[in-house]
């Protein structure tokens, strides 16, 4: 095999409807046939980088094809994200088969992609192209939810919008629309000016009301994209695209504990193990999760933490192992689950998720009615509550709890948001944040698995949100966030068919915080923060009950959180026995 690399730029690939998509092809410069890896992305620079080093792949004997999807960049056609589950799957099918038919390909094709590009790999796998042998949808999922607010919604958004993602995506999406209209001879001066406003005035952009009328929304095609980001497809067209049974090939999943779509990655892994369309698919599921953020470098620093040298070999080398096994037939052991235990800073392995030795432990909320702020009397305990007064706070959508760290799936330039673990003390001094904290731990406690909070609450509004955040409190008083989630009241029965609630009625809010793996050290404390906003990570609920994007102003809501017999609020923690943590 040659050590030289041949690079062919903007290679035309014709789809079944005659549209031509463009790709760059990197392959060993020889006359041999090679297995190929396809990445389909929405812009070329994204497809060229990813987390698979191009030259590492070619040195390992692969041809790497990075294609720009329909309607983006130099590829022909129109891009309609609301139709992605069908069109992108068909284009992926045609692209895989085109590659398999090239003289330089041995007929074995894999797909990979990070974030949106991972979704493209998943949609292709559901179409079952004959020559597709394996996929690696990293920081993504095999089947995502399409419809309802936001179009794409990770499980931990609970009916709210992953707002910071919408803020990031719209200018990127609109840029291609504007460029294409300009090439068609249209005057796009005002369109460019409106998008430049969004880029140069980020705080005004994300606080704009009503959301549906942001300046760029008046332009038809851009307005359609923005409406999809806010509301998704019409309710009559809402559908679940998580058809795991249609996927017949092995999958390598990668995510991070501070990746906003970590829940989606683990959900896909679990469902593919149980429901994959073939024995090979069910037994060929692998997932890696480390202390990483979405679209971030997979290094040892994140937020306020340094995870040391224990991170070991880069994930790209694991990806080569995965393709060597499933495209080339090499006998390579790859554990189903590899996860990084934060706090101990070392890798662990398992055959399944959640871990088979998990002991689910409920930690109940307690207070004398004054759990507001970290200085309040909120307590987190294994003891079930008896007769206790509830905690009350007011939620003002014009003064929301600001986002500090966490799983940010993109953030517009200039906002200054940093993903990952960050100091939460300023947040926990707010009167609209309830803090329930354990006493100092007498021994190490490992928490590894999905986290879920059950909050019994009432509100004075027809619609509102409740948020939850798991925090590690250090002996010196520092508090660092681990995972968080949100639940929207109108989505209590169904996120796809929302219903307003009755003011004053007590409801159970089941809040998905997502997966984590943390060793709470002896002397530390475990804390759960409860509030009604985390902005702009999630959109503000204006408490009016109006359709998303319609409000010009919000109303203040009185929020009451209960923890008593019959309404025992708690957080369910997946505790791993001591012997597994040592």
Q: Could you count the other beta carbons within 10 Å of the beta carbon of residue 362?
A: 14
Same domain, 552 and 421: yes
Please give the share of the chain, as a percent, with pLDDT higher than 70.
90
**Is residue 448 included in any domain, yes or no?**
yes
CA distance 157 to 150: 10
Same domain, 290 and 377: no
Same domain, 110 and 189: no
Encode pLDDT of 355-378 as tens digits. Answer: 999 999 999 999 999 999 999 999
**Is residue 285 included in any domain, yes or no?**
yes
Question: What CATH number does residue 261 fall under?
Answer: 3.40.50.1820
- Region 377-384 average pLDDT: 98
In 37-81, alpha helices (H):
44-49, 54-59
Same domain, 550 and 401: yes
- Counting the structural domains of the chain, the total is 3
**How many Å separate Cα 244 from the centre of its chain?**
18
Taking the whole predicted model, whether its pTM rises above 0.75 is answered as: yes
Which tokens go with 164? 């910071």
Query: 178 pLDDT exceeds 70?
Result: yes
Domain that holds residue 384: 359-581
Q: Is 292 helix (H, G, I), strand (E, B) or coil?
A: strand
**Is residue 576 included in any domain, yes or no?**
yes
Same domain, 332 and 228: no
Encode pLDDT of 89-140 as tens digits. Answer: 899 999 999 999 999 999 999 999 888 888 889 989 999 999 999 999 988 8
Which tokens go with 559? 């929020």
Phi-psi category of residue 128: left, alpha or beta, with phi > 0 → left and psi -120 to 50 → alpha:
left
Same domain, 450 and 540: yes
Same domain, 409 and 453: yes
Same domain, 109 and 79: yes
Query: 296 pLDDT exceeds 90?
Result: no
**Is residue 353 included in any domain, yes or no?**
no
**Is residue 146 included in any domain, yes or no?**
no
Question: Annotated catalytic sites, by residue?
Answer: 115, 259, 294
Question: What CATH number does residue 547 fall under?
Answer: 2.60.120.260
User: What is the structure's pLDDT at 2?
Assistant: 67
Encode pLDDT of 560-580 as tens digits. Answer: 999 999 999 999 999 999 864
**Is residue 495 included in any domain, yes or no?**
yes
**Is residue 438 included in any domain, yes or no?**
yes
Which of 213, 237, 261 corresponds to the end of one domain? 237
């Amino acid at each position: 095999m040659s050590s030289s690399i041949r690079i062919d730029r903007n290679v035309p690939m014709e789809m079944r409807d005659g549209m031509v998509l463009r790709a760059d092809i990197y392959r060993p410069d020889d006359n041999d046939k090679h297995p190929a890896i396809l990445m389909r992305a929405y812009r070329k620079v994204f497809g060229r980088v990813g987390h698979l080093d191009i030259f590492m792949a070619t040195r390992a004997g692969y041809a790497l094809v990075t294609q720009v999807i329909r309607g983006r960049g130099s590829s022909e056609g129109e891009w309609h994200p609301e139709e992605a589950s069908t069109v992108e799957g068909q284009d992926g099918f045609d692209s895989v088969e085109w590659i398999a038919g090239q003289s330089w390909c041995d007929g074995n094709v894999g797909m990979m992609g990070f974030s949106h590009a991972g979704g493209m790999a998943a949609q292709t796998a559901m179409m079952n192209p004959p020559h597709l042998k394996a996929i690696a949808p990293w920081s993504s999922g095999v089947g995502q939810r399409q419809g309802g607010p936001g179009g794409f919604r990770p499980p931990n958004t609970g009916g709210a919008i992953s707002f910071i993602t919408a803020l990031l995506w719209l200018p990127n999406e609109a840029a291609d629309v504007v460029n294409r209209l300009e090439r068609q001879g249209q005057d796009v001066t005002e369109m460019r000016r409106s998008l430049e406003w969004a880029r140069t005035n980020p705080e005004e952009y994300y606080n704009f009301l009503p959301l549906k009328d942001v300046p760029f929304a008046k332009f038809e095609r851009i307005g359609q994209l923005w409406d999809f980001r806010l509301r998704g497809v019409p309710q009559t067209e809402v559908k679940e695209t998580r058809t795991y049974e249609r996927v017949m090939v092995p999958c390598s999943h990668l995510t991070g504990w501070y990746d906003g779509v970590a829940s989606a990655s683990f959900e896909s892994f679990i469902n593919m193990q149980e429901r994959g369309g073939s024995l090979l698919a069910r037994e060929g599921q692998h997932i890696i999760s480390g202390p990483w953020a979405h679209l971030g470098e997979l290094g040892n620093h994140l937020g306020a933490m340094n995870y040391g040298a224990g991170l070991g070999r880069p994930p790209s080398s694991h990806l080569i192992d995965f393709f060597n096994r499933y495209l080339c037939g090499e006998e390579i052991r790859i554990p189903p689950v590899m996860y990084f235990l934060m706090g101990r800073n070392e890798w662990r392995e398992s055959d399944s998720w959640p871990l088979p030795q998990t002991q689910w432990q409920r930690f109940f909320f307690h207070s004398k009615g004054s759990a507001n702020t970290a200085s309040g009397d909120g307590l987190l305990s294994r003891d079930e509550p008896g007769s206790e007064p509830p905690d009350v706070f007011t939620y003002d959508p014009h003064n929301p709890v600001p986002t500090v760290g966490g799983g940010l799936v993109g953030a517009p330039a200039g906002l200054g948001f940093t993903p990952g673990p960050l100091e939460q003390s300023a947040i926990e001094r707010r009167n609209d944040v309830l803090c329930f904290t354990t006493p100092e731990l007498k021994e190490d406690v490992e928490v590894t698995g999905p986290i879920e909070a059950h909050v019994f609450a009432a509100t004075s509004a027809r619609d509102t949100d409740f948020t939850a955040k798991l925090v590690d409190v250090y002996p010196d008083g520092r508090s660092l966030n681990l995972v968080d989630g949100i639940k929207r009241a109108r989505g209590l029965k169904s996120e796809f068919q929302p219903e307003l609630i009755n003011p004053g009625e007590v409801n159970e809010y089941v809040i998905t915080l997502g997966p984590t793996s943390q060793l709470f050290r002896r002397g530390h404390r475990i804390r759960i923060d409860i509030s009604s906003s985390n902005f702009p990570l999630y959109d503000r609920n204006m408490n009016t009950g109006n359709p998303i994007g319609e409000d010009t102003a919000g109303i203040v809501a009185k929020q009451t959180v209960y923890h008593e017999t019959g309404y025992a609020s708690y957080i369910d923690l997946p505790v791993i026995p001591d012997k597994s943590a040592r």
